[in-house]
Amino acid sequence: MAVEPATRLVRPLQIGKHAIWPPVVLAPMSGVTNRTMRALYKPFGFGLTVTEFVSSNALQYQSQRTMEMIDQHGLEQPVSTQLWGNDPAIMALAARTVRECGADIVDINFGCPAPKVTKTAGGSACLRDVDRCEAIMRAVLDAVDCPVTIKMRLGWTEHDLVYLEVARRAEAVGISAITLHARTAKQFYRGTADWSHIAALKRAVSIPIIGNGDLHDAPTALARMQESGVDGVMIGRAVLGNPWIASDLHALLEGRIPAGYPAPAVRLRYALHHYETMVSELGETRAVPQMRKHLGYYLKGFPGASELRERLMRTLTAAETMGLVQATIDRLS
């Protein structure tokens, strides 16, 4: 049954014509948020999913791997495709390509701190040149007929916090929403995300703001939303092996009691479903190594999990892997 808007604690997240409910976004994660995972996790309570972040340079060559990164399942709309790069013209061409391939929203990556991205002046390294950030935003906006958003960090270092300046320029040129991860690029994922900066950003501009960083569970995410006044939240690492965090937050936002983290056997049954789906869509050769990391995320918080994880890291076939997981489910049940 549909929940009446009057019972909701916040409004839908409005990005262009897209009214996103719940205002919970699955973060782009390299090698993780492929189309299979996005389709599997969206029903848990993600109003918006974002592709793996894609190199604008790589899109020029349209390799199979690159095109798979922007591919959609057909079940996860609206979909935001995230691009990274440092050349405004190439970013514009990439934006036009992903839009033609079905992106509902184009997101510009000014946030990734990974060396493979920043060494080419992409991702969070763009924040060292605010004028270049603006040039990229203008070029992408001119190239597509859909909403354009950005994701960024506070700045390159703690001594050069440029997020407010970038945000004001983003609003002025027509960016539809901003996601802020409340760390600097140099912090990587160390320390604690400082949500006071996210609250400051919300006060500084009138376009929607999405907060990101250290949202370990649904109550924390709700508290951060209420304290900062943001229009939505983006959840990344905390969702790995735990899509139920989105279900719980969805419930809280609609005034319902969350179901909470399920029992180990329930989690492993879903891990098997995830595994089987990956094998059916990608084939065993590709799915088995990719799913090792996912199974590691699902294997948390029950006796024997470490030993099972070690055994699963050495399996070579889907049948062997699923047999070990099923045996564990039988034992736990």
Give me the active site residues, please. 112
- CA pair distance 224, 230, nearest whole angstrom: 8
Angle at 62 between CA 61 and CA 68, to 5 degrees: 150
CA distances from 262 to 22, 276, 294 (A): 21, 20, 17
DSSP letter string over 18-34?
EEESS-EEEPP-TTT--
Q: Which of 5, 23, 45 is nearest to 229 (CA)?
A: 23
Kindly give, in sequence order, each residue whose CB lies less than 8 Å from that of residue 97, ignoring residues fewer than 6 positions away.
59, 62
Token pair of 316 as six digits: 């070579």
- CA pair distance 226, 213, nearest whole angstrom: 15
CA distances from 231 to 162, 199, 224, 256, 280 (A): 21, 11, 11, 19, 37
Token pair of 267 as six digits: 């989690």
Tokens 């994880």 -> residue: 309
Judge whether 208 and 14 are in contact, CB under 8 Å. Answer: yes
- CA pair distance 82, 55, nearest whole angstrom: 9
Half-sphere exposure of 167 (CA within 13 A, CB side): 29
Cis before 78 (ω within 30): yes
- CA pair distance 291, 289, nearest whole angstrom: 6
- Greatest CA span in the chain, whole angstroms? 59
